[in-house]
Amino acid sequence: MSAERKIGFIGFGAMARPMAANLRKAGYEVAAYTPSGKGDDQTEMFPSARALAEWCDVLVPCVPNDAALRKSLYGDDGAFAGLARGALVLNTSTVSPDCAEEVAKAGDDRGLAVLDTPMSGSTPEAEAGTLVMLVGGPDEQVERARPILKAVGKAVIHTGGAASAARVKLVVNGIMGGTLAIIAEAVAYGLSSGVDRDVLFDALAQVAVISPHHQRKLKMAKAREFPSQFPTRLMAKDMGLLIDDARAVKSFAPALAVAAQSLCLATKRHADEDYSALIGAMERSVVNTP
**Alpha helices for the chain (secondary structure H):** 16-25, 49-55, 66-73, 97-109, 123-128, 139-150, 164-192, 197-204, 212-223, 232-248, 254-270, 277-286
CATH classification of the domain holding 244: 1.10.1040.10
Give a yes or no: residue 74 inside a domain: yes
**Are residues 53 and 10 part of one domain?**
yes
Annotated catalytic, 237? no
Same domain, residue pair 120 and 218: no
Q: What's the pLDDT tens digit per position in 151-177?
A: 999 999 999 999 999 999 999 999 999
pLDDT tens digit sequence for 231-274: 999 999 999 999 999 999 999 999 999 999 999 889 988 999 99
Residue 1 lies in a domain: no
Same domain as 156, residue 23 = yes
Q: How far is CA 209 from CA 62, 183, 203, 206, 274, in A?
A: 32, 10, 11, 9, 21
Last residue of a domain, one of 118, 144, 160: 160
For residue 192, is pLDDT > 60? yes
pLDDT (0 to 100) of residue 289: 57
Last residue within a domain, chosen from 112, 128, 160: 160
| pTM score | 0.94
Q: Let me know if residue 92 belongs to a domain.
A: yes
| 78 and 189 within one domain | no
Q: What is the pLDDT of residue 153?
A: 97
Q: What is the CATH number of the domain that holds 91?
A: 3.40.50.720
- Higher-scoring residue by pLDDT: 36, 100: 100
Question: Out of 25, 169, 217, 237, which one is annotated catalytic?
Answer: 169
Residues 105 and 184 in one domain: no
| pLDDT over 60 at 193, yes or no | yes
- Angle at the Cα of 78 (from 73 to 79), degrees rounded to 5? 70
Cα 170 from Cα 189, distance rounded (Å): 28
pLDDT on residue 220? 97
d(CA 107, CA 271): 33
Q: What is the pLDDT of residue 48?
A: 96
Q: pLDDT exceeding 90 applies to what percent of the chain?
A: 92
For the cut 60, the answer to whether the pLDDT of residue 290 exceeds it is no
Residues 156, 208 within the same domain: no
* Domains: count for the chain: 2
- Per the structure, the complete domain to which residue 195 belongs is given by 167-286
In a domain, 111, yes or no: yes
Q: Are residues 154 and 218 in the same domain?
A: no
Whether 101 and 135 map to the same domain: the answer is yes
Per the prediction, the chain carries an average pLDDT of: 95
**Banded model confidence at residue 2, pLDDT cuts 50, 70, 90:** low
Give the percent of the chain with pLDDT over 70.
Answer: 98
Is the separation of the CB atoms in 17 and 45 below 8 Å? Answer: no
